[in-house]
Amino acid sequence: GHDSLILGIESSCDETACAVLDGAGRIRAEFVASQIADHAPFGGVVPEIAARTHLALLPDMIHRALAAAGTTPSGLVAIAATAGPGLIGGLIVGANTARGMALAADVPFIAINHLEAHALTARLPDTGGNPPNFPYLLLLVSGGHTALIAVEGVGRYRRLGTTLDDAAGEAFDKVAKLLGLPYPGGPALERLAAEGQGGRFDLPRPMLGRPGCDFSFSGLKTAVAQLVARQPEGGLPRDFAADLAFAFQSAVVAALADRLRHALAMLPGATAVVVAGGVAANKAVRAALADIAAGAGLPLAAPPLRLCTDNAVMVAWAAIERLRAGDAADPLGVRCRPRWPL
């Protein structure tokens, strides 16, 4: 019912988050703390710092979320936490917090796959769009993952393609660093690309025209590195960096578009295209995906940005979907898994 409250906890990377949803999927409380500032001095996520920061932030954040939802641990019908894939230290902090609460309050514990949570987010009510029905095609493009997944039902996922090397967001971050931009580089690179023009650089178009739906971004990054290395020392000219950012972004967009087209051909019954992950914030990426979805006569469902990037609403929602589908709770002894393919 509407008052069957569920707590979700997310701590697989550098976002500390918790949320309380009711049984209908309405959001009763939602908190996210980004650790970007803690990791920025190191130019990337430091796993040990991430785990310690989750540990420092979670207890108070959970306390505030339960208070905002007007409940206590024993008033919950389930406690869900991301158990993988991700950085093992952070996963253990989040999952053990959930286990401890579940044990103390005698509430079922549910271990959630982070990718499943991203995959089901678009079905959350109240996200503004029409929740897609199964089967739909998910393009997950984040700093850690790049994959095309056929979502055929709760617990029924078929991976159509994945990256053979870097994730799309990782490529954005690495190229941004080469261009002298701060971490995380994706948003900064998009802003720089807006000043740039095409026609100056001819970067490789990774995987374009190849069969299947796999991705590859490391060759593109290497091509950028070589162009930068040939420049004289002492900082890149602004127009050079902007044109290169534009060329890089265009190449990524072309690759994502090509792979999406192939995936749609492999899932003829798809009812929608769904995007998730931080790279979905990129306007050029979104526009290209919308074009291809429209060309296939399908809606493009992009959850609001705060639900596209890592959050705990998606963790609680995945638990609701699993319980509705008849799944049992997980034993408290279930292991966290740094690698956990769908």
The contact set with Zn ion (CB under 5 A) reads 142, 310
Question: Known binding site for Fe cation: residues?
Answer: 114, 118, 310
Of 144, 147, 149, 145, the C-alpha closest to 132 is 149
Q: Select the span of 62-70, 126-134, 196-204, 279-287 touching ligand KG4 (CB under 6 A).
A: 279-287
Based on the shown chain and the rule CB under 6 A, indicate whether residue 245 belongs to the binding site for ligand KG4: no
Residue 210 CB, nearest approach to ligand KG4 (Å): 23
Of 46, 45, 141, 81, the C-alpha closest to 337 is 81
In terms of CB distance, is 135 or 185 closer to ligand KG4?
A: 185
**3-state secondary structure (DSSP) of residue 136:** strand
Residues binding ligand KG4: what is the number (CB under 6 A)? 20
In terms of CB distance, is 14 or 310 closer to Zn ion?
A: 310
All residues at 6 or more sequence positions from 236 whose CB lies less than 8 Å from its CB, including other chains: 179, 180, 228, 244
Count of Cβ atoms closer than 10 Å to residue 27 Cβ? 18
Q: Select the span of 49-57, 95-103, 170-178, 325-333 touching ligand KG4 (CB under 6 A).
A: 170-178
- Which of 132, 144, 161, 206 is close enough to bind ligand KG4 by CB under 6 A? 144
In terms of CB distance, is 22 or 310 closer to Zn ion?
A: 310
Of 28, 23, 20, 29, the C-alpha closest to 4 is 23
Based on the shown chain and the rule CB under 6 A, indicate whether residue 185 belongs to the binding site for ligand KG4: yes
321 binds, among ligand KG4, Zn ion, none (CB under 5 to 8 A by kind): none
Based on the shown chain and the rule CB under 6 A, indicate whether residue 186 belongs to the binding site for ligand KG4: yes
User: Mind giving me the DSSP string for 33-63?
Assistant: EE-HHHHGGGTS--HHHHHHHHHHHHHHHHH
Based on the shown chain and the rule CB under 6 A, indicate whether residue 281 belongs to the binding site for ligand KG4: yes
Based on the shown chain and the rule CB under 6 A, indicate whether residue 282 belongs to the binding site for ligand KG4: yes
Based on the shown chain and the rule CB under 6 A, indicate whether residue 184 belongs to the binding site for ligand KG4: yes
* Cβ pair 322, 111 in contact under 8 A: no
Distance CA 102, CA 104 (A): 6
Distance CA 314, CA 289 (A): 22
In terms of CB distance, is 279 or 323 closer to ligand KG4?
A: 279
Residue 286 CB, nearest approach to ligand KG4 (Å): 9
Question: Known binding site: residues?
Answer: 114, 118, 140-144, 173, 186, 190, 282, 310
Q: Select the span of 22-30, 104-112, 149-157, 164-172 touching ligand KG4 (CB under 6 A).
A: 164-172
Q: Select the span of 119-127, 139-147, 233-241, 255-263 touching ligand KG4 (CB under 6 A).
A: 139-147
278 binds, among ligand KG4, Zn ion, none (CB under 5 to 8 A by kind): ligand KG4
| Omega before residue 184 within 30° of 0, cis | yes
**3-state secondary structure (DSSP) of residue 194:** coil
Distance CA 335, CA 99 (A): 11
Of 142, 147, 119, 133, the C-alpha closest to 272 is 133
Place of tokens 């617990």: 155
Based on the shown chain and the rule CB under 6 A, indicate whether residue 132 belongs to the binding site for ligand KG4: no
Based on the shown chain and the rule CB under 6 A, indicate whether residue 142 belongs to the binding site for ligand KG4: yes
Rg of the chain over Cα atoms, rounded to whole angstroms, equals: 20
* Cβ pair 10, 312 in contact under 8 A: yes
List the x/- string, 202-241, binding to ligand KG4 by CB under 6 A.
Answer: ----------------------------------------
| Contact positions vs ligand KG4 (CB under 6 A) | 13, 142-144, 169-170, 172-173, 184-187, 190, 277-279, 281-282, 309-310
